[in-house]
Structure 1
Amino acid sequence: MSNPLRPGDPSRLGGYQIVGRLGEGGMGSVFLARSAQGRWVAIKVVRPELSHDREFRARFRSEVNRARQVPPFCTAEVLDADPDHEPSYLVVEYVEGPSLAQVIRERGPLGAGGLHSIAVGVATALTAIHGAGVIHRDLKPANVLVAPGGVKVIDFGIARAFEATSEHTRTNQMVGTVAYMAPERLDAVSGQPVGPAVDIFAWGAVVAHAATGRNPFGGDSATATAMRILTQPPDLSGLTGPLRELVARALEKDPAARPNARELLDGLLTAANAGALTATPTPSAATPGPSSGVTPAAGVPDDQGGRSTTSGLVSTRRRWLAGLGATAAVIAVLVPGFVFGPKLLGGTAGPDPTGSTAAGTSTGQPATDGSAPATGPASSSPSAGVDPTRAMLAGQRKILLHLVEIDRDLSLPFDGEVHVGDGTGPDALFVLEPVGVDYMIKSLNPDVAHQPCLGVKLDSEGYAFLVGAECYPTGATMFGLARQGKDDKGRTSYSIHNEKYGVVEWSPSRKKIYVEHLGDAPVGTTFSMVDRGAV
């Protein structure tokens, strides 16, 4: 849950209603808010003294415009901003999930599956960020969120606006955490330009930290750490095989010797295909104590006690990175544990922006009170401490897709076109198959030899409908889920959207499910998930 607003905090910013505080950092405060359309967002409000700096405003506007061109491949999407508002603010999608820093602090170094999910997810994010001409400049474990659908990198690009203000220039300050800074950022005398290679160095340090629980250049102070970065090789004990080689290349002193983000992805793909991704975690300097659940992280520095940013509709800008999407989809299949779900988190529940569920807790029971009876005896419930919604989003539970507005359930019968029904037949059972931040929706109909996934098909008149399609991640079979509210049973409801064809809607007049771009029109059809037992 967000913290209460303080006296003097805004109640509205632009078209957003502020409902609580998420955290506070050196750049300003972060608030939980709702858009006019009901979407949860995180708003970062810049410190007043910076908002009054004309130079800062200009740079802030420029960097926000760049950041908005970054497609949401493992990144938190930048949605809106107003540099001229008093104070300036930035709106980003709201994501539930702890930061990598919290996960490691509370649970220790990651296992092989979680580690390579981090390596792949962050490399994917950097490929998208650098492809839009943006440099993160402050990549660190606190800026990597572990969301139900996969990794999300936050706070990219904006650091440059703060670092280049007259205040920081006069005091020779840099925005960032020393332990993840490349040598060229620390050695001003060298005159080396700051380019995308600084983020590659940070990627290496983040992955090494995730594998071992310690920084590869860790010293007793920031100064000692900086000196080690400049003069000493990294300590990569605990990393083995191709991943160690990739991390070592990323941590080269010479930026020209480091791979770029796409080369990191290619290296991870090659290693995964060969089955050679291994790691041996070593004890952290600080042994983590018993965990009572991971507290959600904020899109602000981790030590500020905030919560996470993000979750919602995927931007259409993803299209121009179709090649990256194909690579990410292949890696999702080949790299163990590419999608986290509750596997890395141990099943802890994430925050509920409505405040209906406390952070780090779980209802402990699957949502079996659906609109229709189960097709048979339900399988065992998720174990205590495992959030059923996360289990369903992670593809671990059979589900009914309940159409909230008409109290019916989707089914995919033998003829291959999606219908609505009472949810009693085997053709009504589905499972989500996460791919990056999106999902394929697979039918579990035992009467069909090759169980299909939902896909979009155009008829002769150009209308788009849902049909059974081969379960392969394409533009027609990948869907995003955007939280909308609650159904009459208290279950979370979602809109389902396809990047290429639009939002899944119900036509009362035609009595059919169709897919259409809505433009500025509100979503009219929502779905909740009814748990029908373990897959």
Structure 2
Amino acid sequence: MKPLRPHDPRTLGEYELLGLLGEGGMGAVYLAQSRGKTVAVKIIRAEFAAQPEFRGRFRSEVNRARQVPPFCTAAVLDADPEHETPYLVVEYIDGPDLADRVAGDGPLTGGALYSVAVGVATALVAIHGAGVIHRDLKPRNVLLAPGFPKVIDFGIARALESTSEHTRTDQVVGTISYMAPERLDGGAVTPAVDVFAWGVLVAYAATGRTPFAADTPTATAVRIMTAEPDLAGLPDDLRAVVGRALAKDPADRPSAQDVLDALLTGRPGFTPPLLPPRRRAPHRRKVAGAVAAAAVVAAGALVVALNTGDDSGATTITSASAPASASTPAEVRIVDTLTRAGQWRDKRTGDYSCELGPDGLAVVSGTTDDGVTCPGPATVFAGDQSIKVHYDELSDDACALVGFRHTGRARYELTACADEIAVAAYHPSGDVNTISSAPLKGDYAARHQLVIDIVGEIATVRLDGEKLLTAVLDDPALAEGATTLGLAQLADGDEGFVRFSNIDIRA
């Protein structure tokens, strides 16, 4: 505890402040006393206090948090959202947090490790049962009280995150190493985000590092979205549970109750094998080069505040969607059924053809693997955008091709083949890099809807509504460009075919 500073308040309501316990993005936490009882008082920063909607959200979240059983959390004792300086009063827990414990004594083992795994899972069951999502579970928010770990700061992050001023720019408040993939690419926030954070936290407690750790916060974010977790060093009987909690798709994660049941009963049926390694992508169209380097967290441009000196991976971020480029006004949109000449036009050569007809744009390649690009609109899109298009009748030796940010020789290309979908970057230098790929299964010749959503520098690809992959678009030379349709031929000597219809592109 530090002594009070000249600008710190001395009293709040009935509470006499004794010293400063810590500061964070929302405000400061003080040790206080009232009627002989020691408590912790958290005050809210003036910039949030000035927002009426924040005060209302704060009040609602505090009321929910009061419904959480206090045996595994820091109990909410009092709050005054109407005070000039809104404040929250919680039980004071005299014990180190998990980050300090691991930093000082090394990774936990044996009973100490299982106490944290079970204790935090129990807290999540109670928190979720009260209708609250923590949203910022991390080692700093787990206090190692005598007898049982206590989880703090639950629910209040939502009050901050959901104010109108912040949702206007899609701000996300949290700690990057513990954020689930869906939080990084704008997906729904459900209790599954806390289960993911539990998996990261237990891995950190057991090994002293987070399972997606990288050299920079942005690289960590990309690993969360695209890489398998590094769980080396976890005890065997924890590894499967943690691995399941770290599934990319929230639907594949267990609930907090399932996690707790698995820890307490060791039911083998709950812990399926970890996700299999990604199948090695086959060679496509003479594509050369290594996988592109990780670049930027989804949801746009980032303001990153590093929590230096904290090996728990606690890099707190606030992210806001970058505005669309001036060259792409928000109302720009291209909609075309591709059944008659319009934005796209017919083209026939000795090597390939692009023909518009009643069923859409038919693309036929010749007997070389140079690929086909059909003439289309020159409209330049930059910043956030969405591309939707249907394709069908794909031959087994070809790939449907959607180019975007296309500027002459440079572009990004998505190829949907019979057994794989991939995103590659064709750089102005002539280098080609496959950025991300995923296997496909099913009827490749059937009609499919392909969706590419670009937010900031992250592209999310969905096929028939199912999210398949994310790709980092980090080349500054490929910041804007046109959208193209075409076909990639896989081998010399064969002809390829694909038909496109109903394209919708919007900023």
Query: Where on the TM-score scale, by shorter chain, does this alignment land: which range?
Result: 0.5 to 0.7
For residues 85-484 of structure 1, the aligned pairs below 5 Å read 85-188=83-186, 192-271=187-266
How many aligned residue pairs are there?
275
- Give the structure 2 partner of residue 406 of structure 1: none
The 2-side partners of 1:76 and 1:100 are apart by: 15
Larger radius of gyration: 2
Query: Could you tell me which of 46, 55, 72 is aligned with 1:57?
Result: 55
Question: Is the CA contact 1:23–1:304 (under 8 Å) kept in the aligned structure 2?
Answer: no
SS at match of 1:105: helix
Gaps of 5+ in 2: 272-305, 311-507
Question: Is the CA contact 1:124–1:265 (under 8 Å) kept in the aligned structure 2?
Answer: yes
Structure 1 pair 75/304, CA: closer, same or farther in 2 (3 Å)? farther
- Give the structure 1 partner of residue 22 of structure 2: 23
Considering Cα pairs closer than 8 Å and 6+ residues apart, tell me whether 1 or 2 has the greater RCO: 1
- Give the structure 2 partner of residue 45 of structure 1: 43
SS at match of 2:71: coil
Structure 1 pair 14/152, CA: closer, same or farther in 2 (3 Å)? same
> 1:271, CA displacement in angstroms?
2.6
Q: Which one has the bigger strand percentage?
A: 2
> 1:6, CA displacement in angstroms?
1.3
SS at match of 1:45: strand
Amino acid at match of 2:11: R
The 1-side partners of 2:110 and 2:227 are apart by: 27
Question: Is the CA contact 1:51–1:88 (under 8 Å) kept in the aligned structure 2?
Answer: yes
Post-superposition CA distance 1:274-296 (Å, at most 9, x none): xx9xxxxxxxxxxxxxxxxxxxx
C-alpha RMSD of matched pairs (Å)? 2.2
Amino acid at match of 1:41: V
Question: Is the CA contact 1:129–1:136 (under 8 Å) kept in the aligned structure 2?
Answer: yes
Q: Which one has the bigger helix percentage?
A: 1
Question: Is the CA contact 1:29–1:46 (under 8 Å) kept in the aligned structure 2?
Answer: yes
> 1:303, CA displacement in angstroms?
6.2
SS at match of 2:88: strand
Structure 1 pair 175/231, CA: closer, same or farther in 2 (3 Å)? same
Post-superposition CA distance 1:45-69 (Å, at most 9, x none): 0001211111111111111111111
Amino acid at match of 1:147: A
Amino acid at match of 1:96: D
Question: Is the CA contact 1:82–1:88 (under 8 Å) kept in the aligned structure 2?
Answer: yes
Post-superposition CA distance 1:211-232 (Å, at most 9, x none): 1111000011111111011111
Question: Is the CA contact 1:130–1:196 (under 8 Å) kept in the aligned structure 2?
Answer: yes
> 1:241, CA displacement in angstroms?
2.4
> 1:5, CA displacement in angstroms?
1.2
The 2-side partners of 1:85 and 1:65 are apart by: 16
The 2-side partners of 1:29 and 1:240 are apart by: 37
The 1-side partners of 2:237 and 2:123 are apart by: 20
Question: Is the CA contact 1:25–1:304 (under 8 Å) kept in the aligned structure 2?
Answer: no
Gaps of 5+ in 1: 277-300, 306-535
The 2-side partners of 1:120 and 1:302 are apart by: 27
TM-score scaled to structure 2, two decimals? 0.52
Structure 1 pair 77/61, CA: closer, same or farther in 2 (3 Å)? same
- Give the structure 2 partner of residue 467 of structure 1: none
The 1-side partners of 2:309 and 2:160 are apart by: 18
TM-score scaled to structure 1, two decimals? 0.50
For residues 499-510 of structure 1, the aligned pairs below 5 Å read none
Structure 1 pair 302/44, CA: closer, same or farther in 2 (3 Å)? farther
